[in-house]
Amino acid sequence: MIRFCVSIFLKIQNTFFISVIFSTFLFANESHRAASLSSPSKEEISKYCSNIVDIARDQRYVLQKEELEKLKKEVDNRINLLEKHKVEYQHWLTRYEKFFAITKKSIVDIYKKMTSAAAAAQLEKINPETASSILIKLNARQASSIMAEMDPQKAAVITNIISNLLNSKLSKGSS
């Protein structure tokens, strides 16, 4: 801090010296020139530094406060933007969930109206998890009739998926 004060003092003093030198050339006064060219004493430097310490500290606080306010505005703007995106994504998620529920119900209704052999042939060709979710929505008689028409290995995979799902639901419900 003392170095900072000394450097400020010397800069101010240099400016003062230049103006004094200029005035000495104008007025040709030798006594003023000799007095102005002497270096400041440590006491003068210390006095000057102690006088400007509070001013420098206050200025530093003002600059820090301005920077913090600027950062706060940036954070607030980002929060507002994220809130807008959250609302938009929530809207799209709601629309997707409604669409998915309608589509799932429609697919289940289609399989309810199919013959067991046709449904089995279709379910064997799709993802076993998807086939499992469709069969779960059918009544037990329809599901068993369709699975009886399926390839035994694929029916076993679907049965395993359904039983694992039911076991996980039972274990969550009991804990």
Q: Rounded to 5 degrees, what angle do the CA atoms 133, 139, 145 make?
A: 90
Residue 14 within any structural domain of the chain: yes
What does the alpha-carbon distance between residue 85 and residue 76 come to, in Å, rounded to a whole number? 14
Residue 67 within any structural domain of the chain: no
Residue 17 within any structural domain of the chain: yes
Q: What is the mean pLDDT of residues 68-89?
A: 96
Residue 126 within any structural domain of the chain: yes
| pLDDT score, position 52 | 79
User: Is residue 81 over pLDDT 60?
Assistant: yes
Residue 136 within any structural domain of the chain: yes
Long-range CB contacts for residues 12-16, cutoff 8 Å, separation at least 24: 13/40
Residue 59 within any structural domain of the chain: no
Q: Tell which wins on pLDDT, 4 or 174.
A: 174
Total domain count, the chain: 2
Q: What is the pLDDT of residues 14-48, one digit of tens each?
A: 555 555 454 544 454 555 555 555 677 888 877 77
Q: Which domain holds residue 2?
A: 1-40
Residue 108, burial from CB neighbour count under 10 angstroms (0-12, 13-18, 19+): middle
What does the alpha-carbon distance between residue 78 and residue 85 come to, in Å, rounded to a whole number? 11
Exposure string over 137-156, b if 16+ CB within 10 A, otherwise e: ebeeebbebbbebbeeebbe
- Amino acid occupying residue 16: F
Residue 145 within any structural domain of the chain: yes
User: Is residue 67 over pLDDT 60?
Assistant: yes
Residue 71 within any structural domain of the chain: no
